[in-house]
Amino acid sequence: MSQKITVLRDTQPQVLLDATKWEKLSGDPHTVNLNAYTSEDGSKIMGTWICTPGKWAVNYTKWEYCDFREGYCILTPEGGEPIHLKAGDIFVVEPGFQGTWEVVETVRKYFVFA
């Protein structure tokens, strides 16, 4: 039987550099993922994401919760209006979101993919 509660107080995050599958469109963005938790089956991940300025084409196949701690970015859905996000914003990206993710000022966010 798997444990029902995972306390992350003393965990050491798995560090992944430039580990994104997204296509770079402009700039020279670099990412750092500090993955603090991954479910046994790999379907759920949570941690911290840091990204320097640049623009990506994105196509979400999973649900993502984001809690922005630093920075500024613009998410633009295909055929839609830009959504400006900054430190202090909390938002969810639903599966099926396609468009661009532009980091204007280096971003640090807490995330959960499920």
Q: How confident is the model at residue 54 (pLDDT cuts 50, 70, 90)?
A: very high
Domain limits, the chain: 6-111
The predicted model scores a pTM of: 0.86
pLDDT at 2: 60
CATH number of 6-111: 2.60.120.10
- How far is it, in rounded angstroms, from Cα 70 to Cα 87? 5
Is 29:74 a contact under the CB 8 Å cutoff? no
Residues with Cβ within 8 Å of 3's Cβ and at least 6 positions away in sequence, in order, are none
- How far is it, in rounded angstroms, from Cα 51 to Cα 28? 10
Q: How confident is the model at residue 12 (pLDDT cuts 50, 70, 90)?
A: confident
pLDDT at 80: 96
Average pLDDT of the residues in 86-112: 97
